[in-house]
Protein backbone atom coordinates (compact mmCIF):
# COMPACT_ATOMS: atom_id res chain seq x y z
CA UNK A 1 0.00 0.00 0.00
CA UNK A 2 1.31 3.38 -0.98
CA UNK A 3 -0.40 6.42 0.51
CA UNK A 4 -0.10 9.62 -1.46
CA UNK A 5 -2.03 12.55 -0.08
CA UNK A 6 -2.03 14.59 -3.30
CA UNK A 7 -3.94 11.96 -5.31
CA UNK A 8 -7.50 13.09 -6.08
CA UNK A 9 -9.03 9.65 -6.54
CA UNK A 10 -8.02 6.28 -5.06
CA UNK A 11 -6.29 3.86 -7.36
CA UNK A 12 -5.60 0.15 -6.93
CA UNK A 13 -2.87 -1.57 -8.94
CA UNK A 14 -2.44 -5.34 -9.02
CA UNK A 15 0.95 -6.56 -10.22
CA UNK A 16 1.42 -10.21 -11.11
CA UNK A 17 3.55 -12.45 -13.31
CA UNK A 18 0.50 -13.74 -15.16
CA UNK A 19 -3.26 -13.31 -14.99
CA UNK A 20 -4.85 -16.21 -13.11
CA UNK A 21 -8.25 -17.00 -11.66
CA UNK A 22 -6.90 -16.00 -8.25
CA UNK A 23 -5.86 -12.57 -9.58
CA UNK A 24 -9.28 -12.16 -11.14
CA UNK A 25 -10.85 -13.01 -7.75
CA UNK A 26 -8.67 -10.37 -6.07
CA UNK A 27 -9.71 -7.83 -8.69
CA UNK A 28 -13.39 -8.66 -8.13
CA UNK A 29 -13.01 -8.40 -4.33
CA UNK A 30 -11.40 -4.96 -4.60
CA UNK A 31 -14.03 -3.79 -7.08
CA UNK A 32 -16.81 -5.05 -4.79
CA UNK A 33 -15.36 -3.30 -1.74
CA UNK A 34 -14.95 0.02 -3.56
CA UNK A 35 -18.28 -0.01 -5.39
CA UNK A 36 -20.27 -1.02 -2.30
CA UNK A 37 -19.14 2.17 -0.56
CA UNK A 38 -20.33 4.39 -3.39
CA UNK A 39 -23.45 6.37 -2.70
CA UNK A 40 -26.14 7.03 -5.24
CA UNK A 41 -28.62 9.88 -5.34
CA UNK A 42 -32.25 8.88 -4.93
CA UNK A 43 -35.37 11.03 -4.81
CA UNK A 44 -38.54 11.10 -2.78
CA UNK A 45 -40.81 14.07 -3.31
CA UNK A 46 -38.63 17.18 -3.41
CA UNK A 47 -35.86 15.66 -1.29
CA UNK A 48 -32.60 14.02 -2.42
CA UNK A 49 -31.29 11.04 -0.48
CA UNK A 50 -27.72 9.72 -0.56
CA UNK A 51 -27.80 6.00 0.12
CA UNK A 52 -25.18 3.31 0.02
CA UNK A 53 -25.91 0.38 -2.27
CA UNK A 54 -25.81 -2.06 0.64
CA UNK A 55 -29.14 -0.58 1.78
CA UNK A 56 -30.90 -1.37 -1.50
CA UNK A 57 -32.91 -4.61 -1.67
CA UNK A 58 -33.87 -4.30 -5.32
CA UNK A 59 -34.57 -1.90 -8.18
CA UNK A 60 -37.74 -2.22 -10.22
CA UNK A 61 -39.49 -0.39 -12.99
CA UNK A 62 -42.96 0.91 -12.30
CA UNK A 63 -45.28 3.53 -13.72
CA UNK A 64 -43.06 6.35 -12.38
CA UNK A 65 -39.71 5.10 -13.71
CA UNK A 66 -37.26 3.07 -11.66
CA UNK A 67 -37.74 2.63 -7.92
CA UNK A 68 -35.08 1.62 -5.39
CA UNK A 69 -36.47 -0.38 -2.48
CA UNK A 70 -34.93 -0.47 0.99
CA UNK A 71 -36.29 -2.35 4.00
CA UNK A 72 -38.63 0.45 4.96
CA UNK A 73 -38.86 2.85 2.03
CA UNK A 74 -39.05 3.36 -1.73
CA UNK A 75 -37.03 5.98 -3.61
CA UNK A 76 -36.96 7.05 -7.24
CA UNK A 77 -33.88 7.18 -9.44
CA UNK A 78 -33.33 9.01 -12.70
CA UNK A 79 -31.48 6.04 -14.20
CA UNK A 80 -32.97 3.44 -16.48
CA UNK A 81 -32.75 -0.21 -15.44
CA UNK A 82 -30.25 -1.05 -18.20
CA UNK A 83 -28.06 1.91 -17.11
CA UNK A 84 -28.04 0.66 -13.52
CA UNK A 85 -27.14 -2.81 -14.71
CA UNK A 86 -23.96 -1.40 -16.26
CA UNK A 87 -22.74 0.47 -13.15
CA UNK A 88 -23.90 -1.69 -10.25
CA UNK A 89 -21.44 -4.09 -8.62
CA UNK A 90 -21.67 -7.81 -9.28
CA UNK A 91 -23.81 -8.52 -6.21
CA UNK A 92 -26.68 -6.94 -8.19
CA UNK A 93 -28.22 -9.00 -10.95
CA UNK A 94 -31.26 -8.86 -13.16
CA UNK A 95 -33.92 -11.36 -12.12
CA UNK A 96 -36.73 -10.33 -14.46
CA UNK A 97 -37.42 -7.89 -17.25
CA UNK A 98 -38.32 -5.25 -14.67
CA UNK A 99 -36.16 -6.04 -11.62
CA UNK A 100 -32.51 -5.97 -10.49
CA UNK A 101 -31.84 -7.73 -7.18
CA UNK A 102 -29.18 -7.22 -4.50
CA UNK A 103 -28.16 -10.87 -4.07
CA UNK A 104 -26.57 -10.10 -0.68
CA UNK A 105 -29.97 -9.20 0.76
CA UNK A 106 -31.87 -12.38 -0.23
CA UNK A 107 -33.32 -14.09 2.83
CA UNK A 108 -35.44 -16.83 1.25
CA UNK A 109 -36.37 -18.13 -2.17
CA UNK A 110 -39.48 -20.25 -2.80
CA UNK A 111 -39.36 -22.04 -6.11
CA UNK A 112 -42.42 -22.32 -8.30
CA UNK A 113 -41.96 -24.76 -11.16
CA UNK A 114 -44.68 -23.32 -13.37
CA UNK A 115 -44.29 -19.58 -12.73
CA UNK A 116 -41.99 -17.01 -11.17
CA UNK A 117 -40.26 -17.90 -7.90
CA UNK A 118 -40.68 -15.74 -4.80
CA UNK A 119 -37.76 -13.85 -3.18
CA UNK A 120 -38.10 -12.63 0.41
CA UNK A 121 -35.97 -10.26 2.48
CA UNK A 122 -35.30 -10.24 6.21
CA UNK A 123 -37.11 -7.73 8.46
CA UNK A 124 -39.53 -6.50 5.79
CA UNK A 125 -42.75 -7.51 4.11
CA UNK A 126 -41.32 -6.69 0.67
CA UNK A 127 -41.08 -9.48 -1.86
CA UNK A 128 -40.04 -9.75 -5.48
CA UNK A 129 -40.29 -12.45 -8.12
CA UNK A 130 -37.52 -14.04 -10.18
CA UNK A 131 -38.69 -15.14 -13.60
CA UNK A 132 -38.03 -18.66 -14.84
CA UNK A 133 -35.48 -17.34 -17.35
CA UNK A 134 -33.28 -15.93 -14.57
CA UNK A 135 -33.89 -18.52 -11.84
CA UNK A 136 -30.97 -20.80 -12.64
CA UNK A 137 -28.44 -17.93 -12.78
CA UNK A 138 -29.69 -16.59 -9.44
CA UNK A 139 -29.54 -20.04 -7.86
CA UNK A 140 -25.92 -20.40 -9.03
CA UNK A 141 -25.02 -16.95 -7.70
CA UNK A 142 -26.54 -17.75 -4.30
CA UNK A 143 -24.63 -21.03 -4.16
CA UNK A 144 -21.36 -19.22 -5.01
CA UNK A 145 -22.01 -16.85 -2.12
CA UNK A 146 -22.30 -19.77 0.31
CA UNK A 147 -18.82 -21.09 -0.56
Give the per-residue SS3 of 102-143. EHHHEEEEECCCCCCEEEEECCCCCEEEECHHHHHHHHHHHH
- Give the global pTM: 0.74
- What is the distance between the alpha carbons of residues 81 and 111, in angstroms, rounded to a whole number? 25
Q: Does domain 21-146 have CATH number 2.40.50.1020?
A: yes
| Residue range 5-25, pLDDT digits in tens | 777 666 777 788 888 888 888
Query: What number of residues does the chain have?
Result: 147
Taking only the tens place, the pLDDT of each residue in 41-77 is 899 999 999 988 889 999 999 888 999 999 999 999 9
Local confidence band at 33 (pLDDT 50, 70, 90 cut-offs): low
Helix%, strand%, coil% for the chain, nearest 5: 30, 35, 35
Domain boundaries, the chain: 21-146
CA 62 to the chain's CA centroid? 18
pLDDT value at 30 more than 90: no
Amino acid sequence: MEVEEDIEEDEVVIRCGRWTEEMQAVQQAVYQAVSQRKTFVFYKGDAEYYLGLEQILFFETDGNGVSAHTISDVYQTNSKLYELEEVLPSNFMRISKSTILNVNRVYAMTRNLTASSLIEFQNTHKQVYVSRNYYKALKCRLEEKRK
